[in-house]
Amino acid sequence: MTDSVALVTGASRGIGLAIARRLVAGGWRVCVTARTPEPLAVAAHELGGPDHAIAVPGKADDPAHQADAVARTIAAYGRLDLLVNNTGINPVYGPLIGVDPAAVRKVFEVNVFSVLGWIRQAWDAWLGGHGGAVVNVSSIAGLQPAEGLGAYAVSKAALIHLTRQLAIELAPAVRVNAVAPAVVKTEFARRLYEGHEVELAKRYPAGRLGVPEDVAGAVAYLASPDAAWVTGQTLVLDGGLLQTAQL
């Protein structure tokens, strides 16, 4: 995939940065986005600087930022082959019925509506006329109820269905797939495993929690020619967790 170009959102650290790193290692050039400029600039430098990566900071759910990032990617590298929608938020915890409706709306703005916005921008600017792929980062929380994570879980379920819907609507030019990780050891998920990682890992047949590179490898596959006949799918990355009775 040498000379292919990707835009990865939420890529200043964690899963997004691991995805960008994996793509660059495979010969891709990338645009990385995230809300905070300083760590994003550090990430782009780590990825090899302008010859390999550019950084465009901004809020994921800001249409102006979406348009700017897509335009700057194409201006820098001449094309856009892959969009990875990794940005996600989970600012609330507890029973969904008691969550502030404004907070639920914000979760959906970032986790669902902004994804559609990014895809529209990429489609209009390049993918619609040249083809390519989209990979959305969902969660196993979108496949079953998740105690305390209701708003996040429902938004990730919506993202999985959005993936399926757009796989039909954008075919055959663009393949649209998703990945659905279980607990991955990132700063974002720290609250879910910190202080009890060993016990939690025992629930996983694979014997451990996920790491960002597990997700990056799956995304790289879905972006590659090896997945040319794969669209509308959600690849579950859970170390076998959903196959057990200990959910």
Q: How far apart are CA 183 and CA 189, in angstroms?
A: 7
Q: Which two tokens stand for residue 59?
A: 């809020």
Q: Where are the alpha helices (DSSP H) in 123-188?
A: 128-130, 150-169
Bond prior to 172 in cis (omega within 30° of 0): yes
Q: Which residues are catalytic?
A: 152
DSSP string, 6-58: EEESS-SSHHHHHHHHHHHHTT-EEEEEES-HHHHHHHHHHTTGGGTEEEEE-
